[in-house]
Amino acid sequence: MVKTTGAIGRSGVNDFVLIRATAIILASYLIFLVGYLACTPQLDYAAWQQLFAGVGMKVFTFITLLAVVVHGWIGLWQVLTDYVKPAGLRAVGQFVVILMLLAYLFAGIVILWGV
């Protein structure tokens, strides 16, 4: 069996399951937000602030943010592995992807929790 060194999961099956699980989380968050936007008669800053003031919404948003990072890493790792053949260029691409995902994660944490 071939071992993957750049993937989050230990095998293709684990990556497959992680991609599907994170997709479900992302879809759930999107459905919730679309429902909230559709059902809120007057959407203003106060309503938006009230929505994100609750710990439950912060946790749901944080879990979704983690799902974006995992989903993005596995998906882009697979694309780079499949389509970028020069090892050096692929390594640079993966490094850039990691930096971007970490920047998104840290920015999201600061915005969400006010750290």
45 annotated ligand-binding residue:
no
Rounded to an integer, what distance in angstroms lies between the CA atom of residue 72 and that of residue 74? Answer: 6
- Domains defined for the chain, CATH in brackets: 12-113 (1.20.1300.10)
35-50 pLDDT, tens digit each: 999 999 898 999 999 9
Annotation-wise, does 83 bind a ligand?
Answer: yes
| Helix (H), strand (E), coil (C) string for the chain | CCCCCCCCCCCHHHHHHHHHHHHHHHHHHHHHHHHHHHHCCCCCHHHHHHHHHCHHHHHHHHHHHHHHHHHHHHHHHHHHHHHCCCHHHHHHHHHHHHHHHHHHHHHHHHHHHCC
Angle at 79 between CA 89 and CA 61, to 5 degrees: 110
At 9 the pLDDT is 55
Render each residue's pLDDT in the chain as its tens digit; 115 residues. 445 555 555 688 999 999 999 999 999 999 999 999 999 989 899 999 999 999 999 999 999 999 999 999 999 999 999 999 999 999 999 999 999 999 999 999 999 988 6
